[in-house]
Amino acid sequence: MTESTRLQHLPIALFAMVMGISGLTLLWQKGAMVFGLPTAIGQGLLVLAGGMFALLLMAYILKLARYPAAVQAELNHPVKLSFFATISISLILLGTATRHILPDFSLSLWAIGVGLHLALTLFIVDRWMHHEHFQIVHINPAWFIPAVGNILVPIAGMTHGYVAVSWFFFSVGLIFWMILLTIIFYRIIFHDPLPGRLLPTLFILIAPPAVGFIAYASMVGGMDPFARILFNTGLFMTLLLATQIRRFAALGFFLSFWAYSFPLAAMTIAAMVYHQHTGADWAQWLSAVLIAVTSAVILWLCLLTVRAAGRGQICVPE
């Protein structure tokens, strides 16, 4: 297969890798603040995430220029459509990761990401409302990405002083989380099981309550009953999926494996934030375990992805 053909089949889902590495960056940054972990690891991961985003963005823009029909096909796809929001979320995450290092640069990244994400949310929700071919079997947790991704905005938004904007995006993300969670569980319980290649997206169920807890705690400045509900919901989802480890271990590698990465990173950061606010010893131990597990999982994902690329299994027709 030629390089030109590979470009034509460059999947939008690759931006989920940036989300995963950015999540790991924020994890190690938080670990340095809470537990005194080496700051150099977070700095190195930030450079990696930024470089990966720049390369993927340039490649996808080139794909758009040369193969607009292939991009249009992804926009019309009931699953791939949601992954376009990984571009704006990656910008928001990079803006969040740089907020204490390069505040002006952080604000620029965050503002661009927020504006783009609002536009993508409106576009994708409009597609959902006026579609002609989506069916209940098409929905899966990846649908959380565009609408529920709004819940990420306050983490850096509060640092930059945009309180009203933070509450707006948090509200949108929270409402769509509840709406889509209901639909997804209806689909899982009353229709055919998710196909193997989409099974890893179940980990996305962890992200909304975990990120929601982090964002909400930053907006209210501490813990309250609703913050505890968000944290414990994320913890339950993590435990639920941990009991199904055999199902995930039996799968062959798909790019959807990157769905493991950002949700685990979000839950790890949530545990550290919970420990900060409560001083609970169990939360400290949970944080330590999750730091190790999440770091190992993302390293494993990187190795699997490099191996798959070396074998020519990425950027190929489905």
pLDDT tens for the 318 residues of the chain, in order: 566 678 998 999 999 999 999 999 999 999 999 999 999 999 999 999 999 999 999 999 999 999 999 999 999 998 899 999 999 999 999 999 999 999 999 999 999 999 999 999 999 999 999 877 788 888 899 999 998 899 999 999 999 999 999 999 999 999 999 999 999 999 999 998 889 899 999 999 999 999 999 999 999 999 999 999 999 999 999 999 999 999 998 998 889 999 999 999 999 999 999 999 999 999 999 999 999 999 999 999 999 999 998 888 888 877
CATH of region 3-310, choose from 3.30.1490.100, 1.50.10.150, 3.90.850.10, 3.40.640.10: 1.50.10.150
The whole-angstrom separation of Cα 94 and Cα 307 is 26
Q: What is the DSSP string of 95-152?
A: HHHTTTT-HHHHHHHHHHHHHHHHHHHHHHHHHHHT-SS--GGG--GGGHHHHHGGGG
Q: What angle separates helix 85-97 from helix 103-129, to the nearest 10 degrees?
A: 160
Task: Extract the tokens encoding 313.
Answer: 């299994």
Dihedral, CA of residue 144, residue 149, residue 155 and residue 156, to nearest 10: 160
For the chain, the helix, strand and coil percentages under 3-state DSSP, each to the nearest 5: 80, 0, 20
**Can you list the positions of beta strands (E) in the chain?**
none
End-to-end C-alpha distance for the chain, whole angstroms: 14
Task: Give CA separation, 31 vs 28, 97, 211, 261, 306, in Å.
Answer: 5, 13, 16, 17, 27
